[in-house]
Structure 1
């Protein structure tokens, strides 16, 4: 434990010396570079001030979002961007980039310190060497950084599955409105106002934004599909762009796509049920093996003289 504290103190002192040397060895800035840095700091301040005015993520902590904003600015200065797949998952879950980065930092720090708290008493008693908690700290910190991404990926899969389910119902409603004599934009807007679920709200907001911006509804659906990484929305936007002028073709296309989505969802549900059934069989097999070992252990112990 003492060696671990010494190593941590040495690492902190070394980081301080390195930072001091870097600050002292900085070259003087030119006018354009200083102006660009000033604009960057001004935009950063506006972004941090706008975090409290952003009402899309009201359930998130303001302090966490400010911490995430600072981490995000540091990554942006170094040209480090989140993977597009992760950005789509965050948009699907409804978590801001700032909150996600703050969660990564906090989770990494907690998992970095957890081994010291858990193994500190054992190390102090001399049962473990002081280097083992240090390696566990590094490993725990890495796992802590990845833990929020794994959680977001799991939630995004569930939400994407729910979005596909809502989308099939949405297509049926649009086809019914088209059969009633409405045009494609009116049918899309009317069908999206039938529910206040999160998926339907995202579709409705995209359609309303497209109407205010003067773009077509299928362009808005395609942009939403790109943002959430949902292939069915992109395919729907492409199909509507091709047959938007013919109401009968639109109805037939939407009905066929709704049926296809339902069949795909049914196949996915059957696949998940089969996987769970296999898991139950494995669990039952393990129980049987354990029960057999429990039954034959006295006889084996008597033969071996244990």
Structure 2
């Protein structure tokens, strides 16, 4: 009975793996955005393939390029993950190469762990190393995603805090008599921090290309996954010609962001205080058990 059950489980797992492999290799229906991105990628890669351009010999770069091209062909856009990488200022191809290399290391790590367990005499089933290899490979493949999303959350918090102060600076520059484009650039030049540096580079690129600065801020917000910058772009586009309305709108938006940040800080402090309370209760319970245990042993004469 156990052999039949094991055979069914192994057969089902193999069938599911084959189905997933076929589904991954078959091209899916791509959106218009992914199609345009593929055309742009091919156009950008054309000069690099000319004889004058040096070929890349880095194995990690080649792996990243191959996997990125495969993602593009399948139509896997991964917008949220790309936004997290943009916030962390990390490349998409390098990230994909890291995932593949870690997955390959996981496939080797699983049987290695089984070999150690087998040497201790704790396992002899030949199916175990296959499962451990697949589990370790999948876990190692997902680990970079977890790290990127965790770091991106913290960095977005810092960016939102800087945006609130930036809006106050823009409002003060407008009150001082400057126009909106000059106020946006002057407020971004107040510091060389990474957040204001990204905003300053965005505004400088908009000035060079002739794009409206609030439109450039909206694109930056879409790239980084910051809703506040996208809302700011829409607001500035609506009231860009009225200086008083712009100043009042920026001041109210900065105040709203400060209140939201304060609420998040208070919520985090409340969670930490609750966790500390639970830890203190557990400590008290353990101390009571330590005091009552000898007396209970004497009463029950154990």
| Range of TM-score over shorter length | 0.7 to 0.9
Residue 126 of structure 1, CA deviation: 3.3
Match of 1:204 among 200, 215, 224: 200
Match of 1:217 among 210, 213, 221: 213
Structure 1 residue 119 and structure 2 residue 121: aligned? no
CA, structure 1 residues 237+67, in 2 after alignment: closer, same or farther (shift >3 Å)?
same
Q: Which residue of 2 aligns with 1:226?
A: 222
Identify unmatched segments of 5+ residues in structure 2. Answer: 1-13, 15-40
Q: Which residue of 1 aligns with 2:78?
A: 83
Residue 176 of structure 1, CA deviation: 1.1
In the TM superposition, what whole-angstrom CA distance separates every residue of 1:228-266 from its partner, at most 9, and x where no partner exists?
A: 111111111111111111111111111111111111110
SS at match of 2:90: coil
CA, structure 1 residues 69+232, in 2 after alignment: closer, same or farther (shift >3 Å)?
same
Q: Which residue of 1 aligns with 2:48?
A: 46
CA distance in 1, matches of 2:54, 2:87: 22
CA distance in 1, matches of 2:299, 2:207: 83
In the TM superposition, what whole-angstrom CA distance separates every residue of 1:9-47 from its partner, at most 9, and x where no partner exists?
A: xx9xxxxxxxxxxxxxxxxxxxxxxxxxxx969937828
Structure 1 residue 135 and structure 2 residue 131: aligned? yes
Residue 163 of structure 1, CA deviation: 0.7
CA distance in 2, matches of 1:107, 1:294: 46
CA distance in 1, matches of 2:213, 2:43: 37
CA distance in 1, matches of 2:192, 2:49: 30
Count of aligned residue pairs for this structure pair: 260
CA, structure 1 residues 194+275, in 2 after alignment: closer, same or farther (shift >3 Å)?
same
CA distance in 2, matches of 1:171, 1:290: 52
Asked whether the 8 Å contact 2:185–2:200 carries over to 1, the reply is yes
CA distance in 2, matches of 1:87, 1:70: 17
Q: Which residue of 2 aligns with 1:173?
A: 169
Structure 1 residue 243 and structure 2 residue 239: aligned? yes
CA distance in 2, matches of 1:283, 1:121: 37
Structure 1 residue 96 and structure 2 residue 91: aligned? yes
Asked whether the 8 Å contact 2:114–2:132 carries over to 1, the reply is no
Asked whether the 8 Å contact 2:202–2:217 carries over to 1, the reply is yes
In the TM superposition, what whole-angstrom CA distance separates every residue of 1:65-118 from its partner, at most 9, and x where no partner exists?
A: 3321222123333x1424211111111111110121112112222333323323
Q: Which residue of 2 aligns with 1:187?
A: 183
If the length of structure 2 is used for normalisation, what is the TM-score?
0.77
Q: Which residue of 2 aligns with 1:69?
A: 65
Q: Which residue of 2 aligns with 1:279?
A: 275
Asked whether the 8 Å contact 1:168–1:258 carries over to 2, the reply is yes
Structure 1 residue 153 and structure 2 residue 149: aligned? yes
Asked whether the 8 Å contact 1:44–1:73 carries over to 2, the reply is no
Quote the RMSD (CA, aligned, Å).
2.9
In the TM superposition, what whole-angstrom CA distance separates every residue of 1:189-212 from its partner, at most 9, and x where no partner exists?
A: 111111111110111111111111
If the length of structure 1 is used for normalisation, what is the TM-score?
0.76
Asked whether the 8 Å contact 1:51–1:66 carries over to 2, the reply is no
CA, structure 1 residues 195+278, in 2 after alignment: closer, same or farther (shift >3 Å)?
same
Residue 213 of structure 1, CA deviation: 0.8
